[in-house]
Structure 1
């Protein structure tokens, strides 16, 4: 892997980097944006980003190579009453969606500029973001037909446990994946 450096920012810092976040998204998701999928559009993406950075505990990591931002990953801890689990098709077990701000970290995005994919940067972003987390588990949502991302997540230890459709307009049905972050997590 190329020599990568990382920068971690909180919600306030992330908002200051909104243009950079948008630029990385436009590059990383150029093909999806070109399809006209409203959920993938830059406007929809930035509406979600603005909502996400209003959450307590928002955590973003940028990856840089030679001073150029080549990727980003972010998420936040799920608190009581979080909308993350809304529209869950079925709870895999009783209490699965019970949150208290310390149980689950929601990994919302990992993206790498197209010219930098396949070099281990996504995995490095994933590991750097999650290494600092104190929650017992992490969750993410992935489209079932996104075989590239799905394959990477399963290789990294994630397992599918449920399905849900996020509450955002035009959101697709997603698989819910879980990754234990601490040894005492038995889910």
Structure 2
């Protein structure tokens, strides 16, 4: 998707160390994107729990984290981030693969799979194509063979978008984070995008 369709949208990229430097911005975008879920009181989506996960993702020893922040007229309106899965990654630890050889599927070398961990748009900017633009900006030109993400099965809007953007379901996974739900695992081939 061209950002020309979203007037004024620009992207800034951050490494893990740089992302820690804009921690307040990351939390603000999260709070504006998950207003309803936070208000519902689910402990997994509480801002404090989310920021603990963010701190773990951006740990200097965690790998090659990359954050993309989308802004319009200097105001952050959304963000997406992820990282390539290393050979010792715990990402697949609780994977229930739908079909195929599990050992072959989860074999990582740091260049096989990019984990798209988060994509979010501030509620007041939702429905304008910003999520797709963030998605394409983060994944565009990635050197990995494929990307993976986790989605709540009842998040119909996001799930439908991912399927329309070329993702397919391969199984389920319950992350090791406290109070994490069981999520669907989606995969998307990146070879044609490099």
- 2:116 is matched with which residue? 107
| Equivalent in the alignment of 2:70 | 63
Q: Distance in 2 between matches of 1:120 and 1:90?
A: 31
CA RMSD of aligned residues (A): 1.2
Question: Contact (CA 8 Å) 1:161, 1:177: kept in 2 or not?
Answer: yes
Structure 2 partner of 1:148 = 157
> What does residue 130 of structure 1 align with?
139
How far did 1:93 drift?
2.1
Please report how far the alpha carbon of residue 21 of structure 1 lies from its aligned counterpart in structure 2 after TM superposition. 0.2
* C-alpha distance after superposition, 1:97-151 (max 9, x if no partner): 1101000000000000011011111000000000131100000000000001001
In structure 2, how many angstroms separate the alpha carbons of the residues matched to 1:183 and 1:93? 23
Instruction: Give how far 1:33 is off.
Output: 0.7
The match for 2:37 among 27, 32, 36 is 32
Q: What TM-score does the superposition give when structure 1 sets the normalisation length?
A: 0.95
1:16 matched residue in structure 2: 21
In structure 2, which of residues 79, 88, 96 is the aligned counterpart of residue 89 of structure 1? Answer: 96
Q: Which residue of 1 aligns with 2:173?
A: 164
**Structure 1 residue 90 displacement after superposition:** 3.2
Structure 1 residue ranges, 4+ long, deviating more than 4 angstroms after superposition? none
For residue 83 of structure 1, give the secondary structure of its aligned residue in structure 2. coil
After TM superposition, the score normalised by the length of structure 2 is: 0.92
Unaligned runs of 5+ in 1: none
The equivalent residue for 1:51 is 56
Using a 3 Å threshold, how does the CA distance of structure 1 residues 141 and 123 change in structure 2: closer, same or farther?
Answer: same
1: CA distance, partners of 2:100 / 2:122: 37
